[in-house]
Amino acid sequence: MHPVYTIGYSNHELETFIGLLRANHITAVVDVRSQPNSRLPQVNPEPLRAALRRHGIMLQAGSRSDRTLGRL
- Would the pTM of this model clear 0.75, i.e. be above it? yes
pLDDT number for residue 67? 56
Residue 49: domain span: 1-72
pLDDT digits (tens, 9 = 90+) for 2-55: 888 888 877 889 999 999 999 999 999 998 888 878 888 888 889 999 999 999
For the chain, what is the domain count? 1
Cα–Cα distances (Å) from 33 to 1, 22, 23, 40, 53, in that order, read 24, 21, 23, 14, 19
pLDDT number for residue 39? 86
